[in-house]
Chain A
Amino acid sequence: MADPRNRQYTNGDITVFWIPSKCIHATTCFRELIEVFNPGRRPWVNMDGAPSRRIMEVVNKCPTHALVWKDNKDLTKEELKAQRNVLPTEENPGNLSSPNESTSIRIMRDGPIVVEGAFTIIGTNNEKLRPTTLSSFCRCGSSRNMPYCDGTHRKIDFRDQNPVNGE
């Protein structure tokens, strides 16, 4: 019997399968395509965030094959059936990381601040934001989902390095 934590997501064209037991948090998926793979959201995979071709490209880079894709034409009967069963309490990669290590804050090149560990987030109205163990914060100033990254940095060509001669 398949692991009940396994998930599948479709856009009607292809289906992406997520096998959490294989995920080592290489973070390739959300560094490449936060519009689709966003651990801060539920469900954490949004198949409408990018064209199938781009999703397939990024899924192919998953080093552990925790993410795999299939053409919908190739789905088995069981997989088609599972497509209709969406469970409300879904794990996301963040729920799987260890709470014992000190919080890791990674500055992604020309991208967001990726945070992993035990932490709290206080919003602009001094309110506690939804607890999570993995977040990515916008660094380009242009996200439409502040304070989180929504992938806009790529559209505006955000760069860490400022132009030498100023702006």
Chain B
Amino acid sequence: MESEKTQFQVIEGGPLKVSGPFKISGPDGAIISREGPVYLCRCGHSTDKPFCDGSHKRNVFSE
């Protein structure tokens, strides 16, 4: 169903917003999240990786 699709929204200079049905697994394979929306760090500086902690505001990166 179209409405059931997972959606990734690229937020300029910020995180990747994920909503809809999904499961996120970490580097060791364990499921770390199934419910959204979640915000995934894109700037590389979050101290709560893979999630965004607002660090992009102090660390500008280019799109």
Contact = CB atoms under 8 A, between A and B. Distances in A.
Given A105-B22, A141-B45, A113 B9 contact: no
A139 B10 contact: no
A103 B12 contact: no
A158 interface: yes
A102 B23 contact: yes
B57 interface: no
Interface in B4-29: 4-12, 16, 18, 20-27
Interface residues of B, number: 34
Instruction: Count chain B CB atoms within 10 A of each CB in A104, A122, A139 and give the residue with the most.
Output: A139
Interface in A126-147: 129, 135, 137-142, 146-147
B22 A103 contact: yes
Nearest to A166: B47
Contact of B25 (A106, A129, A142, A158): A106
Given A105-B18, A162-B47, A137 B25 contact: no
A137 B8 contact: yes
B8 A122 contact: yes
A115 interface: yes
A160 interface: yes
Interface string B37-51: 000111111010110
Contact of A140 (B5, B10, B44, B63): B44
Interface residues of A, number: 32
Nearest to B33: A105
Contacts of B9: 121-122
B46 to A, nearest CB: 8
Given A105-B24, A107-B50, A124 B7 contact: no
A32 to B, nearest CB: 15
A147 B63 contact: yes
B25 A141 contact: no
A109 interface: yes
17 contacts: A102-B21, A104-B23, A105-B25, A109-B27, A113-B40, A115-B6, A119-B7, A122-B10, A135-B8, A139-B42, A139-B44, A141-B42, A141-B44, A141-B56, A141-B61, A146-B62, A160-B49
